[in-house]
Amino acid sequence: MRWMLGAAVAALCFAAPGAALAQEAALLERGRYLVEVTGACGNCHTPMGPQGPLPGRHLAGGTVFDEQPFRAVAPNITPDPETGIGRWTDAQIATAIREGKRPDGSIIGPPMPMAFYRGLADRDLAAMVAYLRTVPPVRNAVEKSVYRIPLPPSYGPPVASVAMPAEDPVARGAYLAGPVAHCLECHTPMLPNGHSDMTRLGAGGMVFRGPWGETVGRNITPHALRDWTDAEIERAIRTGVSRDGSRLRPPMAFWAYQHMSPRDMGDLIAYLRSMPAQQ
């Protein structure tokens, strides 16, 4: 009996490094999925040319958002120590993403979707940080943003801890549409103060101008999608083809969402169908 116990402990000790490696690999894979697929951080942080993302510049910043209230420039979020976030600690990167605060205490302004990222679960935030550390560093100095509106002193009290959503399709879908993929940011009308009108969640109406011309975030509540099949909604999200077969234009990140897992897609659609209809 004694010997068996010893052997069991020994087996555990030998298994531990393998288990730790497997855990690390799972964390990185989750982080990759969140950053590259559902979160589509590259939609803003990777410079785009006429053919899409510029080669060799993944997450290296430089995209300019020229709007009435600001001229924001997406920063370099690769691990380059000089021009990226290579010198930041894990905790500092996490605080930047979820609290909108840099290591020097300055506030990160729009269009970084801060209102939504505050809801990111601890585990997912840790996975995103771990993954960002592994992307190839790119040297690319980016100019500073200029804000003609005052930025808040903070986006709220420090976020202590956020749990993963409950194992329920609608709860998981709500987490995806909000904190993870910020679908609701683009699909909710914006108030004159620059915040989303939370009483009209999903009603559409936000205007996007860019090399694609002008697009308007569409109504994605049951008011608009009632007659769509699940397959039609999925096709729109994954491939950018609307119900009538017309092609949807940027800035929605179809190129990233095409790789969304079937379970996440199902949960997302369950959530969209559960939303209060908005005219």
Report, in angstroms and rounded to the nearest whole number, the Rg of the chain calculated over CA atoms: 21
Positions in 248-277 near ligand HEC (CB under 6 A) = 248-249, 251-252, 257, 268
Contact 208, 250 (CB under 8 A): yes
Contact 19, 222 (CB under 8 A): no
Write the binding mask 110 to 149 for ligand HEC: x where contact by CB under 6 A, - elsewhere.
-xxx--------------x----------------x----
Q: Is the peptide bond before 251 cis (omega within 30 degrees of 0)?
A: yes
Helices assigned H by DSSP within 52-168: 90-99, 114-117, 122-132
Range list of β-strands (E), 38-108? 48-49, 52-53, 64-66, 70-73
Write the binding mask 34 to 73 for ligand HEC: x where contact by CB under 6 A, - elsewhere.
-x---x-x-xxx-------------------x------x-
Choose among 65, 67, 66, 69: nearest CA to 148.
69
Which segment (4-12, 17-25, 109-117, 192-200) binds ligand HEC by CB under 6 A?
A: 109-117
Rounded CA separation 202/116 (Å): 14
Nearer to ligand HEC, 111 or 169 (CB): 111
Residue of the chain from 162, 215, 222, 270 that contacts ligand HEC (CB under 6 A): 215
Interface residue list for ligand HEC (CB under 6 A): 35, 39, 41, 43-45, 65, 72, 74-75, 77, 85, 93, 96-97, 102, 108-109, 111-113, 128, 145, 177, 181-183, 186-187, 208, 215, 217-218, 220, 233, 236-237, 242, 248-249, 251-252, 257, 268
